[in-house]
Amino acid sequence: METKDTLLLVDDETDLVQGLSRTIQAEMPCEILTATSAEDALALLAAHPVDLVLTDIRMSGMDGLSLLKKIHKKDPHLSVILMTGYGTIETAVTAIREGAYDFISKPFKNDSLIHTLRKGLEHNRLVRENLRLSRILCASTPGLVGQSGPMRAIYEKIRMLARTDVTVLICGETGTGKELTARALHESSPRRGGPMITVNCPAIPESMLESELFGYAKGAFTGAVKDRQGYFAAAEGGTIFLDEIGDLPLPLQSKLLRVLQEKEINPLGSDLSRKVDVRILAATHQNLEKKVEDNTFRADLYYRLNVASLTMPPLREIREDIPLLVEHFLDKTACQLRMEKKRVSSLLLEELMQAPWPGNIRELENTLQGLCVMTQEKEIPPQNALKRDRIPDLDFFTDSPLPHRNLPYQQLKEKVLARFTRQYLDHLLKETSGNISHAARLSGIQRQSLQKIIRRYQMDATHYRGRE
Ligand SMILES: Nc1ncnc2c1ncn2[C@@H]1O[C@H](COP(=O)(O)OP(=O)(O)OP(=O)(O)O)[C@@H](O)[C@H]1O
């Protein structure tokens, strides 16, 4: 059944709102909500989904223009049509510039009002559909990005494992792409037409985990008024991904072991077990072998899960992939936030390539998303606040590719040395908040020499004062 559109009419003249409501109702099959002030309109909008707003400009209290701004702050895509009286045409033009869909001048004929409203609703439908499609498009690129050796080895393993039905344990630090890898495995397997159900084990209260995983029969506990299938049954014909499996409580570990061995589930409160055709993928950031030694993880379950394993590299070990990842996340952010794609300056890219990234690829993604949102310009400048390794841990050249590697040795050496010195000084001054004596002590360079070097590189220690 097609759902009706909902129209919100706003005017501080009660009679006019009621008259309008009757006229529209006679011509168009839609739900109508009415408000006699902008404040009431906002309250209605907060409580009901609305497809189109028709509001007067001149109202006592908050006027139509302020209402338009407030509406668009909450939902920038909602179509708003303004009604203008004598002398408010200019305001209406301003309103169009501010994002109103259209305006209609009073007094208006009924058919021109209906025509304008129909156009507004059609516009709303197109905008919503467009949004829906672009959301699907943004979400439908679950591919892993990266061409480094370790990432290529991961792709090769995914290709091999996708052909099989074996249980795979995906290990790696937080944010390294374990869930994305599980999805890639499912999507490239013959089960791709079936569901992929992700269970974040620690997110479910321990008391509910069993019934959530295996389902329950009516009467299994108070409140179980009918049978309910669990995640395993929902994943029938597809894949179940058990994220953070290391947090699974011991009693449930035995039950999971049974599923792995027998391919059978036993809903809570039921005597009947049922066969399931589900592939199991699991992930953990913990050291399961250590947990086995500590007797907090069952050894037999560990061996069953670990039939094949994949270990995701931390970002610091695949720094050469950072430029590709940066491009990918700039595209993704532009797509998701429906904004123009930004660029990163070369200095910022250098910074990104050296940052420690304890939160791995997720942290890089979040950082870039934040920078895109916070930067007005097309190019994101270097961010001196990006956290880096402390000086003794800095690994200047082993991790970042050599610039201009085809230059003769002497020239290349000079370039590399200049780059190293600039980066070193930048880091040193940041670390010491521009305090030259402290920087001299830390670097082992005489104070005066250090000042000379800083000047030669046209840097200014005072710029680093007062920063963290
Ligand atoms: N190789 C990659 N290419 C593109 N995006 C990636 C890659 N790896 C991770 N991401 C992105 O980084 C974010 C974190 O990835 P994901 O959730 O898969 O990590 P995880 O290892 O499962 O994290 P956690 O252990 O915290 O659950 C996601 O937005 C994901 O899309």
CATH 3.40.50.300 is right for the domain spanning 149-313: yes
DSSP alpha helix (H) spans, 98-148 = 110-139
Residue 89 has pLDDT above 80, yes or no: no
The pLDDT value given to residue 398:
37
- In this prediction, residue 167 has a pLDDT band, given cuts at 50, 70 and 90, of very high
Domain ranges, ordered by start, for the chain? 5-139, 149-313, 315-388, 402-468
Q: Ligand 1 pocket test: pick from 138, 155, 179 the residue with the most ligand atoms within 8 Å of its Cβ.
A: 179
Structure tokens at 106: 């009073």
DSSP string over 150-168: HHHHHHHHHHHHHTS---E
56 Cβ inside 6 Å of ligand 1? no
Is the CB–ligand 1 distance for residue 230 below 6 Å?
A: no
Q: 183 C-alpha to center of ligand 1: Å?
A: 11
Q: Which atom of ligand 1 is nearest to the CA of 180?
A: 18
Beta bridge partners of 240: 197, 280
**Higher-confidence position of 367 and 221:** 367
5-139 topology per CATH: Rossmann fold (3.40.50)
- DSSP letter at 327 equals H
Give pLDDT tens digits for 56-84.
Answer: 998 988 999 999 999 988 787 889 999 98
83 three-class SS: strand
Helix (H) or strand (E) holding 243: strand 239-243
pLDDT above 60: residue 137: no
Provide the pLDDT for residue 209: 82
CA distance 206 to 41: 44
- C-alpha 371 – ligand 1 centre gap (Å): 19
* CATH top-level class of 315-388: mainly alpha
Q: Return mean pLDDT, the chain.
A: 85
Side chain identity at residue 95, one-letter code: A
Q: How far apart are CA 81 and CA 94, in angstroms?
A: 13
| Whether pLDDT at 40 is above 90 | yes
Asked if residue 16 lies in contact with residue 103, where contact means CB atoms within 8 angstroms, the answer is no
pLDDT in tens, 393-407: 333 433 445 555 566
What is the b/e burial string over 94-116, where b = at least 16 CB atoms within 10 angstroms of the residue's CB? ebeeeebbbbbeeeeeeeebbeb
- Cβ of 106 less than 6 Å from ligand 1: no
Residue 281 has pLDDT above 90, yes or no: yes
Q: What CATH number was assigned to the domain covering residues 402-468?
A: 1.10.10
Q: Do 38 and 66 form a contact (C-beta atoms < 8 A)? A: yes
Residue 251 to residue 268: CA distance in whole angstroms: 14
Residue 332 CB–ligand 1 contact under 6 Å: no
Please, what is the angle between helix 64-74 and helix 38-47, to 10°? 20
Asked whether this chain's domains 5-139 and 149-313 adopt the same fold, the reply is yes
Q: Atom of ligand 1 at shortest distance to CA of 321?
A: 1
pLDDT beyond 90 at 1: no
Q: Which is more confidently placed, 91 or 392?
A: 91
Task: For ligand 1, atom 29, name the residue with the nearest CA.
Answer: 362
Lowest mean pLDDT among 78-82, 142-146, 455-459: 455-459
Work out the average pLDDT over 328-354: 89
Dist. CA 284–CA 270, nearest whole Å:
31
